[in-house]
Amino acid sequence: MIGIVDYGAGNIASVSNALAFIGCDASIVSSPGELDRCDGLVFPGVGSFGAMVETLEARSLYDPLKEKISEGTPFLGICLGLQLLFDGSEESPDHKGFGIFKGNAKRFSQGKVPQIGWNSVEPVGGAISGGWAYFVHSYKIDECEHALAHTDYFGAYVSAVKKDNITALQFHPEKSGPYGLSLLRWWTSCLQKE
């Protein structure tokens, strides 16, 4: 079973619907004990970085979620779920990310902020195909040695990462039409091979 981590994010229903559409057995999980029942975890991150960390801590999910990822549970982070894997964010300097990848999310310094709408996803290597995806974010990761894809918005930034059991997307696959669904299918097929 795939667990969709509930920390109060507004896009949980759309993520759940997208996974159901591609035939996945998924359930919303909101307590540390429920994490243990999951073969894979999806983190549907929206909102502000600081509020996300505070809610995870208030629900006693911060450390257990980090532990499950470090133990090798397949993980898919969406939007803030990608930024959570890094050291932190300029948006909330007093709140720490998981520090699995080095670096901090930085605010876009040009263009309309937040970036809202469709943009191109350009793969790094051949693990995923390129396509057009739906983005809503004000902060970005400039570089990562485990980048799976880049996107350009007044300069290139990391729009997907993958390392071992960890995959994360800066964009919203659940709102990205056939391309987004293809990536969810790809991730779940990787999960089945774990």
Spot the catalytic one: 91, 95, 144, 174: 174
The answer to whether 174 is a known catalytic residue is: yes
The answer to whether 71 is a known catalytic residue is: no
Spot the catalytic one: 24, 38, 79, 144: 79
Residue 68 and residue 34 in contact, taking contact as beta carbons nearer than 8 Å: no
Spot the catalytic one: 95, 137, 150, 172: 172
Instruction: Domain count for the chain, please give it.
Output: 1
Residue 67: which domain range?
Answer: 2-193
Q: What is the per-residue pLDDT across 112-151, written as a single tens digit (0 to 9) for each?
A: 999 999 999 999 988 899 999 999 999 999 999 999 999 9
Q: Among residues 138, 143, 140, which one has the least CA distance to residue 112?
A: 138
Q: What is the per-residue pLDDT across 41-98, written as a single tens digit (0 to 9) for each?
A: 999 988 899 999 999 999 999 999 999 999 999 999 999 999 999 999 999 999 999 9
CATH of the domain at 82: 3.40.50.880
| Structure-token pair, residue 2 | 């795939």
Q: What is the per-residue pLDDT across 150-168, written as a single tens digit (0 to 9) for each?
A: 999 999 999 999 999 999 9
Triad 45, 12, 148: Cα angle to 5°: 45
